[in-house]
Amino acid sequence: MAARLHLDTVIAPTRSLPLRGLALVLGLVLGLDLLVGVAFVALGAALILLFLAAGLLGLGLAFWVSYRQARARERVRITADHVMVTREHGRLTRTVWTSPTAFTRVSLEKDGRDGSEVRLAISGRRLTIGSSLGPKERKGLAESVEAAIRAARAERYEP
């Protein structure tokens, strides 16, 4: 018999710029670079085209890295027996945390900046989860993980 899941949540980073917006931004930058490039070539400074191309390539590379990072997922599963956190990136999935539910603690700690971090802890080991979330979402995550752990502990001791 499969263990009852008290929580099975997937945390994924979001990007505020959709692909259509990205194409628009890159198109506008390309158009502006072409206008500036033509003006400088007319003045006899053709080398500026290399710098403009390098800038456009750098911007495209930065967006490529950002969208690639957006494919990362963090999954938190809580049963009566254990708490398990896996991190998925594309086809690669690895378990980064497994602990007995009965002894796992959840905390929402200030991180020195204006935000907070959701941490799982047991016997000196700690793991921060939900780093890609905003402060309000982290608070909600901490509350839902804590509630799921309480429910899972209660299930263990039901007659």
Distance between CA atoms of residues 75 and 84, nearest Å: 8
pTM across the whole model = 0.75
> Rounded to 5 degrees, what angle do the CA atoms 88, 150, 152 make?
65
- Residue 26 has a pLDDT of 94
* Across 70-95, average pLDDT: 91
Q: What is the mean pLDDT of the chain?
A: 90
pLDDT, mean of residues 119-126: 93
Residue-level pLDDT at 112: 67
Given this model, what pLDDT does residue 158 score? Answer: 67
Using the predicted structure, report yes or no on whether residue 1 has a pLDDT greater than 60: no
Which CATH topology does 7-12+73-156 take? Answer: PH-domain like (2.30.29)
Bridge partners for 94 per DSSP = 87
Q: Are strands 82-89 and 116-122 parallel, antiparallel or unpaired?
A: unpaired
Q: What is the pLDDT confidence band of residue 140, given thresholds at 50, 70 and 90? A: very high
Residues 6+ apart with CB under 8 A from 87: 72, 73, 74, 75, 93, 94, 96
Joined together, the tokens standing for residue 145 give 């993980």
Model confidence at 115: pLDDT above 80 = no
Q: What is the pLDDT of residue 144?
A: 95
